[in-house]
Amino acid sequence: MKKRLIILGFFGSLFILCFSLLLLNTQATFKDEDKQAKNYQVGNLELELVNDGSDVIPNPLVPNAEITKRVAVKNVANNASYVRVMLFPTIIDKNKITLEAQHPKQFKYTDLDTTNWMYGDDGYYYYLKKLEPGATTQNLLSKIVIDANIDAKYKDSQFDFEVKVEGINTTAGGFSKAWWNDEIPPNSARDKINKKLTE
128-181, pLDDT tens digit by residue? 999 999 999 999 999 999 999 988 888 889 999 999 999 999 998 999 999 999
Residue 118 clears pLDDT 60, i.e. is over it: yes
HSE-up of 185 (CA within 13 Å, CB side)? Answer: 4
CA dist 42 and 176 (Å) reads 11
Residue 30 clears pLDDT 90, i.e. is over it: no
Q: Cβ(65)–Cβ(110) under 8 Å? A: no
pLDDT digits (tens, 9 = 90+) for 49-73: 998 888 888 888 889 999 999 999 9
In percent, how much of the chain has pLDDT > 70? 77
pLDDT (mean) for 8-14: 46
Q: Is 45 left (phi over 0), alpha (psi -120 to 50) or beta?
A: left
Backbone phi and psi for residue 117, each to the nearest 5 degrees, phi listed first: -125, 155
Look over the chain and give the mean of its residue pLDDT values, rounded to a whole number: 80
β-partners of residue 68 are 56, 143
CA dist 60 and 157 (Å) reads 5
Q: Please report, as a single letter, which amino acid is at residue 81.
A: S
CA dist 59 and 67 (Å) reads 10
Residue 113 clears pLDDT 80, i.e. is over it: yes
Q: What is the pLDDT of residue 45?
A: 64
CA dist 141 and 144 (Å) reads 8
User: From residue 18, how far is each of 11, 12, 14, 69 by CA, in Å?
Assistant: 10, 10, 6, 63
Residue 13 clears pLDDT 70, i.e. is over it: no
Contacts of 186 (CB under 8 A, 6+ apart): none
Residue 34 clears pLDDT 80, i.e. is over it: no
Backbone phi and psi for residue 80, each to the nearest 5 degrees, phi listed first: -70, 160
pTM, two decimals, is 0.76
User: From residue 102, how far is each of 37, 54, 175 by CA, in Å?
Assistant: 37, 24, 29
Give the torsion sign (CA, 12, 17, 23, 26): negative
User: Do β-strands 81-92 and 158-169 pair in parallel, antiparallel, or remain unpaired?
Assistant: antiparallel
